[in-house]
Structure 1
């Protein structure tokens, strides 16, 4: 019997939890560095994650999502199937084949991550996470990080606001039943 699939993100497609644009930019960085004899470790980016202002009618946010980000950075890989799929895209026709044959199969995120502790309150213009590493690594992780941190922070902040209003009352959440 074939193993069931849930349809959710799994180890085989985790790396594709990004915008296609991020992968095309990575290929462009790779080709540029190859053409100009630049080592990837010399092409460093630093990204800070912060908010400019609170959402309307909000006076605090709670940082959440760090565990999922770390899991992604430790486990996301380009599978043979993914590499084959990407290699057939017309947009990559001028990219050296070593990008698909050597670089992507061996790709592992090499990023340093600094972040505040999950559950902490944070303020506008305060960095809540910083990532540093090779440009393509930071670029590729950007979409996933923004998606996860934004959603998890939204949920954690809303739960905190509800709990503050309810005070000592017991709360139940039936979101999956809607």
Structure 2
């Protein structure tokens, strides 16, 4: 069974096999988590992203999909880039947000990653409501068959941490509560 742990902090400082990047579709960096990962990881990540754009993703990485690159200077082997959906006033497709977590774990499995750090995808400038995003993330990860041994949700602030902690405590799927790190 995959262990779920929660950490409040900076995802770029995590020591894991793979760090998930809440990327924009261009794969060329941006703001928020995406910008922080590119800045701290260095130019090797951007170089691989440019190669991916040239070879397979000329129109950008589709929403809900995931692809891996080197982690550059991060304390990880890989960065898994995924593009979350933008939340609109009328809502958005929760299936696309769930797909970000599913596809990222599938990529992690294909790489042999055993520990993966996720941010709260789509909750920044893409405006997905935090409580709903936490529910979707935790339910999706719990529902996945994966060889990943630890999924670590790295939440930037206390509000996000609390929303995810509430979902992790929910008995659906028999998951564990927040780790001692939290």
Question: By the TM > 0.5 criterion, same fold?
Answer: no
- In which range does the TM-score fall when normalised by the shorter chain? under 0.3
Rg (Cα) greater in structure: 1
Looking at both structures, which has the greater relative contact order when contacts are Cα pairs under 8 Å and sequence separation is at least 6? 1
Structure having the higher strand fraction is 2
Q: Give the structure with the higher percent helix.
A: 1
